[in-house]
Chains A and B, each alone.
Chain A
Amino acid sequence: MTYCSSLHVTRRRALTLGAAVAAMTLTARYAAAQSKPGIVITQGNFQPMPIAIPELLPATANDADTGHGITQIVTADLQRSGLFAPIDPSAYIERITNFDAVPNFQDWRAINAQALITGRASRQPDGRLKAEFRLWDVLAGQQIGAGQQYLTTPDNWRRLGHIISDAVYERITGNKGYFDTRIVFVDETGTKLRRIKRLAMMDQDGANVKYLTRGDELVLTPRFSPSSQEITYMAYGEGDPRVYLLNITSGEREVVGNFPGMSFSPRFSPDGQSVIMSLQEGSNSNIFVMDLRSKATTRLTNTQAIDTSPCYSPDASRICFTSDRGGQPQIYVMPAAGGPAQRISFGDGQYSTPVWSPTGEYIAFTKQFSDKFAIGVMKPDGSGERILTEGFDNEGPTFAPNGQVIMYFSDEMGGPGPSLYTINISGRNQLRVPTPSFGSDPAWSPLLS
């Protein structure tokens, strides 16, 4: 490295100048890096987590079927969530033979598993079924949380699977699960002209369907109470529609009242003590709250417009509803005790059936625009509107109890009848929910356990 003298001076000056300027830039840019080297990751690349779910080990040969069944439930639940990618068991290298032994993580890493569930199913002396499981972080080579065990009656084995799925889901995602839940919906059979609508209930995965009404009435818009033991629904028998309160464990049915002109069932308040509804007054309709014990109603709105489909925020401090007071149906939010209402939807088209997410983060809605029906979410202040799915007819969104999934019903143009679908609030993972026949008006229960 030799220079002639003048070049050297020039070079040194230039270097000094250049270094000074560049050093300022570098100092600013690397200030954090030099004192505390670090980087910040603010974006990611969502991928379903590869998970291995070997069959639960049966304590005796008699438990093999139960262990297999629970494993199938857990695998199906996690797969349907869209957040996990269960690995084909034929790829497994290690065969789990001892529930109490630490797995050979190298074998599970080799098949790209990131998580591993091991479990055991056994019968107690009193005849009850016991299921245990452990969740392992394959990459870190350690158990995640403590092992869990659950006891139940043998005929309840499906719920055991859902409960294990919920525990795994919560441990990995940080959110409560939603697998140990039920759906109440309107089961539709018969031709389009002679449609029989029955109220039905099933597990969230479509199993264990039970019919709650006989089909001699037209039933609409069932809603779960926060206790998940009661539902309200509307039934057109003869004359005005009636609102019923049905206890799903005892089967007792109670008439809440006759409500002429009502088009949606009341919704429960978060404490389950009252219901909120819209009642017709001449050509207008306004929002009222009814105390379920005293049956006393309180008026919340008094407008020359159609205010309908009210819904509580999860903290019961506010309500959202649809009103055409601005010319066409839009979503409004107001204090639950009454007061000025604030319009939150401003997009093109008509908004209806708002429902607040159980986490309070979003309001889901149906939006009708240019001959399409879309299901979307927006924040309670009206910002961040996102359309999750759109089609010929999408209606009636209802949130899973963790607020991460929305169920709705959709009818294809010219199709024979409606079906139930779920979609994650990210807009991913749209899935059809299996029902015995056509299904509409779903309502998602709170977690059962």
Chain B
Amino acid sequence: MRSDWVISGSVHAVLMTLALISLANSKPSDDPVNQVPVQIVTDNDLSRAALGQRNAPHIDKPKPLADKADQLKQVDQVAPKVADKPAITTSSPAPMPQPKPQPQQKPQPKPDPKTAQKPDKKKDDFKADKIADLLKKTDPPKAENKPKPKTPQYDPNQIAQLLDHRDPQRQVATADAPNNQAGLGVPNAASNAQLSQSEIDALRERIRDCWSPPPGINSNTNIYVSLRVLFKPDGSLAQTPVLVAGTASPLGPALAESGTRALLMCQPFKMLRPEHYAQWKDITVDFNPRDLSN
């Protein structure tokens, strides 16, 4: 009995010793599991990130985009067309009394008169020349040479802008120096954000609720009409929707009119967010009864 214990114990001890030696000598795996850092990216992050430049250098404190060198000026609303904006001119005598908070503009309490004179080589040749002329005529004092307020006049450089009926993609910003360098995910990138799926779904849902299809048109009716819809920034229609395409059918006019009624009746479409206006200001809405029950 005792010898049994001894034999069993010694055999176990030998086996464990061998096992320890062999495992200790075995090489560590050459193939460790790679650890992939994963970070959750939300929709919001993505839309901001996608709008910067992927290859932009990393800047700890990114400067806001600035098109012009000038005193800081607040642009009071997003909505007006570029051509309507007086903000382009540098001749504004004073900043707006109550600047609205703008994320991309660092408010400066006192504009530096020197920096305000920096010519904008890229865009504002006309004004740069004007300033140069003024500098020639007068001694080069350190004093501020403000361009005099002038009446609007023909400016060939502004033709493109005057013809540009698009609404601004973002506000025209001024800063102490022009900065065209887009940051990586700077806050103002959100102004280019995509029209979200939830907005599209909400718009579709709303139009569907409003659309009373003409009777006699159903999923068997192989017909569609395509309406071009122009919106105002407040989500109301800028004009009566226009038929741009459709199936040749006696039922076509009734279908197009029913769609037009739905759009006219249910405006404004408040689910469309103003910051995405550029994406939804001009869309086509197809009315296709393929899923109507009867």
In A381-427, the 8 Å CB interface with B consists of: 386, 402-404, 424-427
Known: A14-B39, A139-B264, A140-B264. A38 touches B291 (CB 8 A): no
Instruction: Say whether B273 faces chain A, with CB atoms less than 8 Å apart.
Output: no
In A326-360, the 8 Å CB interface with B consists of: none
In A1-24, the 8 Å CB interface with B consists of: 1-2, 8, 10-16, 18-19, 22-23
Q: Chain B residues with Cβ under 8 A from A404's Cβ?
A: 215-216
Among A45, A171, A403, point to the contact of B212 (Cβ < 8 A): A45
A9: nearest chain-B partner, CB-CB: B37
Q: Chain B residues with Cβ under 8 A from A425's Cβ?
A: 294
Q: Chain A residues with Cβ under 8 A from B250's Cβ?
A: 174
Q: Chain A residues with Cβ under 8 A from B200's Cβ?
A: 33, 39
Q: Let me know if B214 and A172 touch, CB within 8 A.
A: yes
Q: Chain B residues with Cβ under 8 A from A424's Cβ?
A: 215
Q: Let me know if B209 and A10 touch, CB within 8 A.
A: no
Q: Chain B residues with Cβ under 8 A from A23's Cβ?
A: 50
Q: Let me know if A16 and B54 touch, CB within 8 A.
A: yes
**Closest chain A CB from B256 CB (angstroms):** 10
Q: Let me know if A175 and B251 touch, CB within 8 A.
A: yes
Instruction: Say whether A202 faces chain B, with CB atoms less than 8 Å apart.
Output: no
Q: Chain A residues with Cβ under 8 A from B220's Cβ?
A: 361, 379
Encoded as 1 (CB less than 8 Å from any B CB) or 0, chain A from 48 to 60 comes to: 1100000000000
**Closest chain B CB from A359 CB (angstroms):** 8
Q: Let me know if B214 and A42 touch, CB within 8 A.
A: no
Among A36, A39, A44, A427, point to the contact of B292 (Cβ < 8 A): A44
A379: nearest chain-B partner, CB-CB: B220
Interface-facing stretch out of B86-94, B149-157, B278-286? B278-286
Known: A175-B216, A404-B216. A10 touches B39 (CB 8 A): yes
Q: Chain B residues with Cβ under 8 A from A379's Cβ?
A: 220
Q: Let me know if B207 and A18 touch, CB within 8 A.
A: no
Instruction: Say whether A83 faces chain B, with CB atoms less than 8 Å apart.
Output: yes
B197: nearest chain-A partner, CB-CB: A29
The interface size of chain A toward B, counting residues with CB under 8 Å, comes to 53
Q: Let me know if A22 and B290 touch, CB within 8 A.
A: no
Known: A38-B284, A38-B286. A43 touches B292 (CB 8 A): yes
Q: Chain B residues with Cβ under 8 A from A175's Cβ?
A: 214-216, 251, 254
Q: Let me know if A40 and B212 touch, CB within 8 A.
A: no
Q: Chain A residues with Cβ under 8 A from B265's Cβ?
A: 114, 139
Q: Chain A residues with Cβ under 8 A from B203's Cβ?
A: 39
Q: Chain A residues with Cβ under 8 A from B261's Cβ?
A: 114, 137, 139-140
Q: Chain B residues with Cβ under 8 A from A48's Cβ?
A: 212
Q: Chain B residues with Cβ under 8 A from A83's Cβ?
A: 215
**Closest chain B CB from A38 CB (angstroms):** 4
Among B60, B252, B294, point to the contact of A2 (Cβ < 8 A): B60
Report the separation of the CA atoms of residues A84 and B180 in the bound assembly, to the nearest whole angstrom. Answer: 59
Known: A14-B37, A42-B288. A49 touches B280 (CB 8 A): no
Report the separation of the CA atoms of residues A402 and B203 in the bound assembly, to the nearest whole angstrom. Answer: 34
Q: Let me know if A41 and B211 touch, CB within 8 A.
A: yes
Report the separation of the CA atoms of residues A36 and B128 in the bound assembly, to the nearest whole angstrom. Answer: 40
Instruction: Say whether B257 faces chain A, with CB atoms less than 8 Å apart.
Output: yes
Known: A1-B62, A2-B60. A40 touches B215 (CB 8 A): no
Q: Let me know if A46 and B288 touch, CB within 8 A.
A: no
Q: Let me know if B194 and A19 touch, CB within 8 A.
A: no
**Closest chain A CB from B267 CB (angstroms):** 10
Known: A45-B209, A175-B216. A37 touches B284 (CB 8 A): yes
Interface-facing stretch out of B22-30, B41-49, B71-79, B168-176? B41-49
Instruction: Say whether B255 faces chain A, with CB atoms less than 8 Å apart.
Output: yes
**Closest chain B CB from A394 CB (angstroms):** 19
Q: Let me know if B283 and A38 touch, CB within 8 A.
A: yes
Q: Chain B residues with Cβ under 8 A from A427's Cβ?
A: 294
Q: Let me know if B208 and A41 touch, CB within 8 A.
A: yes
Q: Let me know if A40 and B254 touch, CB within 8 A.
A: no
Known: A40-B286, A42-B291, A45-B208. A174 touches B38 (CB 8 A): no
Instruction: Say whether B204 faces chain A, with CB atoms less than 8 Å apart.
Output: yes
Q: Chain A residues with Cβ under 8 A from B142's Cβ?
A: none
Instruction: Say whether B240 faces chain A, with CB atoms less than 8 Å apart.
Output: yes
Q: Let me know if B207 and A41 touch, CB within 8 A.
A: yes
Instruction: Say whether A26 faces chain B, with CB atoms less than 8 Å apart.
Output: yes
Q: Let me know if A44 and B41 touch, CB within 8 A.
A: no
Q: Let me know if B286 and A33 touch, CB within 8 A.
A: no
Instruction: Say whether A30 faces chain B, with CB atoms less than 8 Å apart.
Output: yes
Q: 6 interchain pairs (CB within 8 A)?
A: A16-B54, A19-B54, A30-B195, A39-B285, A46-B215, A144-B257
Residues of B participating in the A interface, judged by any CB pair closer than 8 Å: 37-39, 41, 45-46, 49-50, 54, 58, 60-62, 184-187, 194-195, 197, 200, 203-204, 207-217, 220, 226, 240, 250-255, 257-262, 264-265, 279-280, 282-292, 294
Q: Which 3 A-B pairs have the closest CB atoms?
A: A174-B254, A38-B284, A14-B39
